[in-house]
Chain A
Amino acid sequence: MPRIYLLGVLLTLFTGSLFGQGSISGVVVDENDDPTYGAAVKIIELERSALTDLDGVFFFDDIPEGRYLISIESLGYDKIVQSVNVGPDAAVAMGSISLMENIELTEEIVVVGYGVSKKRDIVGAITKIDGDDASDALGNSFEANLQGKAAGVQVLQSSGIAGSGARIRIRGTGSITSGGDPLYVVDGIPITQDPFINGSEGGQNYNPLSTINPNDIESIEILKDASAAAIYGSRGANGVVLITTKKGKTKKPKWNYNSNLGFSGLAVDITDDYLTTSEWIQLNQEAWENDGNVGRAPLPGGMSYDDLPAEDYDWFDALLRKGIKQEHNLSVAFGKEKLDVYASFNYLNTESYQVGNNFERLAGRLNLGYTPIKWFNVNLRSSLSQGLNNRVSQAWDGGLGTAESTLLPFYSVDSFQYATGQRNPLFKTNYLDWNTLELRTINNLTLAITPVKNLQIKAFGGLDYMDLRDSRLEDSLWTLTDVFSKLDQKNITNYMVNGTVDYRTDFWENHTLSLLGGWEYQQSTTVGEFTEIKNALGHIYNTMEVYDSPNADTTVTEYDDNQWRFTSSLFRLNYNFKDKLIVNMNHRIDASSKFGRDRKTGHFPGLGLAYIMSEDSWLANSDKISFLKVRASVGRTGNADIPYDAQFGGYSPGSSSNIYAGQPIVSYASLPNSQLAWETTWTTDAGIEVGFLRDRITAELGYYNKITRDAIIFVRIPTSTGQAGYFDNIAQIRNRGVEFMITSRNLVGDRFSWRTDLNLTHNRNKVIDVGTAQPDALAGSGDTRVIEGMPMGVNYLVRFSHVDPDNGLPVFLDADGNETYEWSEENRVPVGNVQPKVVGGLTNTFTIGQNLEIEILGTFTIGGNIYDDAAKRQLGVWTEWNMQRDILNRWTGPGDVNAIYPRLTRNSTTYGGMGSEWFYNTDQWLYDASYFRLKKLAIKYSLPNKLFANKSWIAGCDVGFTTINLFTIAAYRRDPEIVRDLDGPQAMNLSPNVTYLTPPQERTFNFSVNVNF
């Protein structure tokens, strides 16, 4: 101790004499007289602050003469304010200042289903993410920003196209045919979240989360294990993402204005990856001559060589641009004794790199809490938002995807159509005005009464209403006939009511029991129709009144009403002994209209135990270990993400207006299954949470084993029955993994501090049982399959061996590993794995001086494969597609031993067994999926407060610069972060990491100003 004093005094003297001004120093200690590291010390009048170092020392120099109030705060301790007098050139040593522990302050509160809990009391695996982290990548919806932030959570942003969503998997994928997404709950209501609501039109799934304003989010809690998620019963098996919006806390209204301006481009440059005209012509000729032809090779569509332009057209240049992005967010929050208010308004306009594509959001929110009398509280949370997505075709449907494939560099960017009949995608963008408009309001109202101490009765009503309009106006210059307007409209009314009773009692000594019981009902109804108008005057919803009377040019098709309902009872018991031993029991009973009539109701119990060893006397005084908790849980959750009518089948009388020969028909819908029900997942979870050196370093290690039984698959029957199959609970899947998180404050100081957050997840997925299903019966996009004993989505391909140097033909391996010239489906074997070995995120945060903060987030993936499903066309049989430049490494003649790709040919049958250019699926198109990406680099500078000294209305201002996806180090040449937008959940479950001209992610640069007043 004296040593530290001495150091403080020396420092004081030294700097004091140097600058000729006063200084203040001191040492902060805890109740045991141990130095407190990282305590925040402020000179209130000067608005200066510092953090104590490892020895608990703080030091301010350059202090003018005067009397100052010094406040000292440290997490878990009561705040201390002391006054000091500083004389001219005086070095004031405040000596040792003792902090008093304050349990109440330490406790971080975590939102759990139907309530909150102290973080230390959590017995399950719950990751909390601060709302600020959800709003920092301009233009993405909040869920994409969870990438790299939480162990056990794999986030893949689908593409850089505006409004795209992300694919999130929590602790692996436990479903095959049913949805694998987690359940999203916003302020208590499971929201409408189906990404396939509009299929995959234009190569993009609609993202129903995009209208949620990330700036409104206070926190996101991810419930990963069964003891946490069982309270969500039949919908908890894929994990639960709880989104809680902000509320007012400070007495004084706190205004915040936040503005962002940025621009975007491709995260990974692909524009030089394709052949130039001269290369294409040369290789086209080579393929022609290789096939034994003479003379000049024909050009696409019978084009003449004379028509070739002198210079290449740059299709990438024509289709790409620098997207401009801006966002403005204004919010106000205050919390008084009886009333708390949070209100916000958000405007976002984010252009992607593809011409004609942007997403615009307008969002408003009002959160009110009112406590008129002590025992009664009413809480309203309400948002109203609009998302307008100006759509473009992409990937396989057009746009950038065509520049990579069917557009050749000698096709003029100014022509409407080419000799092949293909049309210019730029004209499509111009002549097809296509937008998707979502109007959304998510609301809830909670009434809570507390009739006696510790007993609370709540009534909750929530409404999530979505109006989705996908509208196209097709110019006659594009259709070459009439102007068509098409409106696809869906309204989804999703409401929920529940009542809960919450009671807490302390008994005997040191025992606390909390009980929760509740009942709930939820219903979601989708209605919709498709309208098409010939000779339209504009978008249908703008010109609705013109078409009031139906006429021959108008066709309206109504969709079948789609409704599902859940009714549930829930129960939770939480027992706490001495803050050391915590037991948590959940039980939920779910019945749903989605379940077959013979299996209506399911039970979902969860049990968790935690023991906080650091409360034990043998550890309580440890210098090194400040916190130690072990936890374990087991429980059963379900997945009910199946179509509302999956159980039904049979004849659909009178449903169709179709006739045959003037007579009515009946149609047979599908085969029924009255036994169809939820998928059941048993999860066991164990974890250890530890804090070292007063929690300067905290770490968590978790293990889980999730066994999904009754996973739903589409059971194939021979199609010679006229039917393809039916849904049934058949398969068994295991996800087993380890999660690790560590937070370390490596350096803490007044001038420089450095914090590191690292998380790693290793998940092993294995398909245990698929009944009698053959590999091809459960297929994903790009030749992924579900095969017993293999990870889900294993690539099922013919193995490519080498190019025969003598004749240039591809040599494959048959199923037994023998070399063969014949490509055959029968030689396909499981190779590769689209699921990575390890995913993780590494964040380093540096604080330099008082005002500058730098955050660097790297995300990474180790292991696994990427399958380039377009490579068979771009590196295979020569067609009228452009080719990946790597095709230059093709076989060029006998003795070419370095060839990577076979001899060029225009006849697919030159390569043995290749019926067409589409057959060429081999493991040659599998690439290592490992990558490291500088996901985020953010620099924030808080303007010194003295700048606002005379402007009392301003409380603080910071400016920032953020770049997303600055660079990527990857084995694969294109963007390694891939999710193809797809038609349904099975492909989404099976085929991450499969690309088919999938647009790359965005690289964005963004400047921000944030003002508090």
Chain B
Amino acid sequence: MSTEFQWLLKGRCYKLGHDVPHAGGVVPGWIIAGRYFNARDIIPHLFEDTDPGFHERCKPGDIIVAGRNFGMGPKMNGYIAMQALGLGLVCESMPFLAYRAALGCGVRVMTDCVNATDICDTGDELEIDFRNGFFINHTRDIRREYPPVPDALQEIIALGGNAGWLRQWHEDHGKPAAA
């Protein structure tokens, strides 16, 4: 299963600064307060406050590279949109609950990527291997190794997040035996 999943993304870099909050940064606060969890509803508003029109410019495989303390709080809304758009996420650091939320939504995400925002800029051509932790900036000819998605957690991302994981688990184990 893991071998079929696209762990290597090639795309354009969207660089963000430090301390980007989920509400008012990743998505507008009303998306969270209104409990919007459908990707179609959220996508037009992803990074709307800081980068209007982002959702029209980004393409599957593009990479968001964020600084320290990205996406404060255990909110999922923005990650649902990122996963649906096929975007990857590389952060210098994330509060643990933000990391868990991103992973639980099936986002290809690497955190603790020290000084990642120093080695790229918006528009650079990046190649990220989330399973092996490789970060390559083709525009600047820079290559780094960062902590990859832990082995034990790859399955959740590959199955599209917690819901996908549970669906698969139910297929494999959960259904009662036939009478």
Interaction A to B: no
